[in-house]
Amino acid sequence: MNVLRSIAALALMACFGTAVAAGPAAVRKQVESTLLVKGTVDIEPDGRVSGYVLDRADELPPVVTSMLDKAASTWKFEPILVAGKPVPARTAMSIRLAAKRTDDGKAFEVRIASGNFGKPNAEGDLSSRSLKPPRYPMDAARAGVAGTVFVMVRVGRDGLVQDAIAEQVNLKVIDSEAGMNRWRRALGEAAVRGAAEWSFNPPTRGEDVDEPFWLVRVPVDFFLDPVKPPKYGQWESYVPGPRQSAPWLGAFDTSLGADAVAEGTIQPLGTGPKLLTPIGG
């Protein structure tokens, strides 16, 4: 397949790498670079942010702290209540930045794309019991296709998966539009088939403990050597896929923190502090 190109080495400006690899022009223009960072944020009783700390900040590009300094100063959360009273709180956060080359090809536009707040896998919250990795589609593996599938699942009260959808498939290859659709479909279908075998531990505390089901987002990586997930603090390039929905999601807003899920964690929807202002400030 002579149009298929790996974009594992794509990056940003001089410090992140060189220009985009050759491939179909329409697809090349869709390439983004992304960086996921983790840390904690301090929320005051009135919902204002009084400070934040990034994990391993010395390993992160200066643009990260510069953008977060500006954005965090504008964030306001729904007050966190204990026994009905607002209290100060420190909570975990994961923030995803995204960068895309400008139309003239001379620079990059960087933005805070999404974020999640709240301690993942906290005691008493919904947690994973078994997340067996899905089987890699053979045709995709032979072609060297890599990517990440964000799977949304509906978990029943028995902890088993009732429904699943490949919410978004981000690819680390460049192909024709038809080829990209083919690879997204292959990885997405494989992830959904694998998700049918997953199981979870229902929550034992919180407002949602008696719900008939729970929604959970799980990132699934399909990587083959030498293509591997980036190390913490490194930019990763990919072609983002369109976001999908399903009737069983109802009116639930699944866009919040859509791809800001740290590796090795899951994201139960509707948990954690609620940000009332735009994530980008």
Query: Looking at residue 122, what is its pLDDT?
Result: 61
User: Is 161 among the domain residues?
Assistant: yes
User: Is 275 among the domain residues?
Assistant: no
Contact partners, residue 75, CB within 8 Å, separation at least 6: 41, 48, 49, 275, 277, 279, 281
Which of 8-17, 82-91, 252-261 bottoms out in mean pLDDT, i.e. has the lowest? 8-17
Element (H or E) spanning 218, and its range? strand 213-222
Mean pLDDT of the residues in the chain: 83
The sign of the torsion formed by the CA atoms of 188, 259, 97, 102 equals positive
Tens of pLDDT along 37-64? 999 999 999 999 999 999 999 889 888 8
Of the CA atoms within 13 Å of residue 225, those in its CB half-sphere come to: 0
pTM of the model: 0.80
In the chain, count of helices (H) and strands (E)?
5, 15
pLDDT class for 264, splitting at 50, 70, 90?
low
User: Is 274 among the domain residues?
Assistant: no
User: Is 35 among the domain residues?
Assistant: yes
User: Is 160 among the domain residues?
Assistant: yes
User: Is 273 among the domain residues?
Assistant: no
Tens of pLDDT along 58-94? 889 888 899 999 999 999 999 988 888 999 999 989 8
**Terminal Cα distance for the chain, rounded:** 43
Query: Looking at residue 260, what is its pLDDT?
Result: 66
User: Is 139 among the domain residues?
Assistant: yes
**247 phi, psi to nearest 5 deg:** -55, -35
pLDDT of residue 277 exceeding 50, the answer is yes
Better-scored residue on pLDDT, 254 or 66: 66
Maximum mean pLDDT: which of 124-128, 187-191, 262-266: 187-191
Q: How far apart are CA 279 and CA 51, in angstroms?
A: 15
CA-CA distances (angstroms) from residue 215 to 9, 51, 52, 126, 197? Answer: 34, 30, 28, 10, 16
User: Is 277 among the domain residues?
Assistant: no
pLDDT of residue 187 exceeding 90, the answer is yes
For residue 72, what are the domain limits?
Answer: 5-268
Query: Looking at residue 166, what is its pLDDT?
Result: 95
Q: What is the number of domains present in the chain?
A: 1
